[in-house]
Amino acid sequence: MIKIQDELVNGNLSLDETAAGQEVQREIAAAQRQFQEDIQTLRQAQGQMARDSKETLARELAAQQWACEEQLASADKAQQSLNVSLESLLGQKTPEYQQLLSGVLADQQRLTEAVAQK
């Protein structure tokens, strides 16, 4: 007779209580421990990936922020340059316009006097 049969029939043991059943239980327990270790390792890896992803995202957002700040600074500089250019142009043209206005006013005065003499 096979040992497991002898344990089941003559020893009146349940399948789990036989030597073969106990060996299977040990193997199942070892497999469960290994699965639990694998799950823990995967959880740790997942956590690390999440941290790495956050760091990568943070670096990408910082780069985008820097680019936006650079564009803003460039736009501010262009606006200041435009204001300086307009002020410079106004400074250059104001005397010319004043001379033209003085000439027109003088011409108007002469015409007014000429009309008044007739």
SS (H, E, C) the chain: CCHHHHHHHCCCCCHHHCHHHHHHHHHHHHHHHHHHHHHHHHHHHHHHHHHHHHHHHHHHHHHHHHHHHHHHHHHHHHHHHHHHHHHHHHHHHHHHHHHHHHHHHHHHHHHHHHHHHC
Distance CA 88, CA 82 (A): 10
What pLDDT does residue 114 have? 84
- What average pLDDT score do residues 7-36 get? 88
- What average pLDDT score do residues 101-105 get? 90
- What average pLDDT score do residues 19-31 get? 90
What pLDDT does residue 45 have? 93
Confidence of residue 74 (pLDDT cuts 50, 70, 90): very high
What pLDDT does residue 95 have? 85
Distance CA 13, CA 15 (A): 6
pLDDT at 1 over 70: no
Distance CA 25, CA 9 (A): 20
Both tokens of 82, joined, read: 């435009």
Q: What are the residue ranges spanned by the domains of the chain?
A: 3-88
pLDDT at 106 over 60: yes
- What average pLDDT score do residues 14-27 get? 87
What pLDDT does residue 5 have? 83
What single letter denotes the amino acid at residue 16?
D
Mean pLDDT (the chain) is 88
What pLDDT does residue 7 have? 82
